[in-house]
Homo-oligomer: A and B are copies of this chain.
């Protein structure tokens, strides 16, 4: 038996193709729709408003479709109250749990709208406390504990997409930027402005980086940016840190290579020895302290007292003692590192970029720089629709960024 409910959405529905994505999703989920009302923005810049009655073959199908549509920013016209069910098995949500978006979210419990404190996609919503202390936060499936109250279905939930960016938006949407044919110098300036704005607002700048930062010779530029205060938090894997440390420890031979433009060959034993050396010291910070590690990106981060979260992967050698070998624990550490982040730059890593995109709220501006268009596409496919992609060379990009942002670096280069 067909069941239905009515949703509404407002915003630049046509300009950004949002409505067409909503209708696509309804079709894909086997649902049907009637557009009850459509108030079009008549002048350029006006927002539009749509009210759509959506139907599915049963309540289960309908709820899932309604949850799906919320990823685009739709809400129920009559949201009602959230339905809560209790976790009965460790690490398992109740059937029909509400699967979150990364948008700002509010949940109506006992007649009050509660704001979800840490929006993150693909999580559940857990209701904590009682009475005046009621609160709601996202929780990953693996953190579900018996007895927790989890929101189920789409009732009682409202989401708010980020405000549309004004003309200053230098990039446009992801789908249009998976192209290397862009005026790149302009894009660099856009990122520099974004970072300055975040710092001016008292926010942190988060970097997510891969070993390409070292291999493309961009470490000096990144060190300059760390020292100038434009890298507050770094998420990376074992590889970026290891290759950075290897370049520092075996400076003579590898330094020569890097300065001559010869390739860094993988698989030789330098990185293994670098790993052993840092393991012996106990941590990267200890190696800086003891004078074993005296240069490079990780050294700069330690010296500047900045936070880094290194999460391992199955291909790691070693790893460094600072690396989380348990990926779920690593995710927790990354979540903790997101506090006060107001800008995120991802460079040269698909794995950690997607991982960060998974946990980042939609309100944080996010730029992904990679020479491989697939990395940028992948990020968008995963739902990080606020992502802005720049397909370019990481080495030259960071060089330009340091020239833009750090006067000393500029002076040292020319």
A308 and B275 CA atoms in complex are apart in Å by: 30
Binds B, one of A129-137, A287-295, A368-376: A368-376
> Interface readout for A27-41 with B: 1 if CB under 8 Å, 0 if not?
111101111101011
B35 close to A216 (CB less than 8 A): no
A327: chain B residues within 8 A (beta carbon) = 312-314, 316, 325-327
Min Cβ gap A368→B in Å is 14
> Interface readout for A3-40 with B: 1 if CB under 8 Å, 0 if not?
00000000001111101100111111110111110101
A180 and B381 CA atoms in complex are apart in Å by: 13
* In-complex Cβ contact of A268 among B17, B68, B183 (8 A): B68
* In-complex Cβ contact of A252 among B30, B67, B140, B318 (8 A): B30
Determine how many copies of this chain the complex contains.
4
B403 close to A397 (CB less than 8 A): no
**Does A200 lie at the interface of the complex (its beta carbon under 8 Å from any beta carbon of B)?**
no
B30 close to A260 (CB less than 8 A): no
| Interfacial residues, chain A to chain B (CB-CB below 8 A) | 13-17, 19-20, 23-30, 32-36, 38, 40-44, 64, 67-68, 71, 89, 91-93, 95, 97, 99, 121-122, 140-142, 170-172, 175-188, 190, 212, 215-218, 237, 252-253, 257-269, 272-273, 275-276, 279-280, 311-319, 325-331, 334, 351-352, 354-355, 358, 371-374, 377, 381-383, 391-397, 399-400, 403, 410, 414
Main secondary structure of the interface of A (DSSP, over half): mixed
A187: chain B residues within 8 A (beta carbon) = 261
* In-complex Cβ contact of A331 among B67, B97, B314, B331 (8 A): B314
Asked whether A35 and B28 contact (CB < 8 A) given A314-B311, A393-B180, the answer is no
A329: chain B residues within 8 A (beta carbon) = 325
Asked whether A253 and B371 contact (CB < 8 A) given A266-B381, A358-B315, A400-B399, the answer is no
Subset of 30 A-B contacts with CB under 8 Å: A14-B14, A14-B19, A14-B20, A20-B20, A26-B44, A29-B253, A30-B252, A35-B41, A35-B42, A38-B40, A64-B269, A68-B268, A71-B268, A99-B273, A141-B275, A176-B263, A177-B263, A178-B377, A179-B263, A179-B377, A183-B216, A184-B393, A185-B396, A312-B314, A312-B327, A315-B351, A315-B354, A325-B327, A396-B396, A410-B414
A394: chain B residues within 8 A (beta carbon) = 180
A67 and B272 CA atoms in complex are apart in Å by: 12
* In-complex Cβ contact of A258 among B68, B186, B217, B393 (8 A): B186
A311: chain B residues within 8 A (beta carbon) = 314
A33 and B14 CA atoms in complex are apart in Å by: 14
A280: chain B residues within 8 A (beta carbon) = 89, 92
A216 close to B181 (CB less than 8 A): yes
B315 close to A184 (CB less than 8 A): no
A16 close to B26 (CB less than 8 A): no
Asked whether A263 and B325 contact (CB < 8 A) given A141-B272, A268-B71, the answer is no
* In-complex Cβ contact of A184 among B40, B122, B396 (8 A): B396
B381 close to A186 (CB less than 8 A): no
* In-complex Cβ contact of A319 among B142, B373, B383, B414 (8 A): B142
B260 close to A170 (CB less than 8 A): yes
A177 and B20 CA atoms in complex are apart in Å by: 17
A267 and B354 CA atoms in complex are apart in Å by: 11
Closest to A385 in B: B267
Asked whether A16 and B20 contact (CB < 8 A) given A38-B38, A71-B268, A382-B266, the answer is yes
A257 close to B28 (CB less than 8 A): yes
A107 and B267 CA atoms in complex are apart in Å by: 21
A355: chain B residues within 8 A (beta carbon) = 313-315
Min Cβ gap A383→B in Å is 3
Min Cβ gap A350→B in Å is 8
B325 close to A182 (CB less than 8 A): no
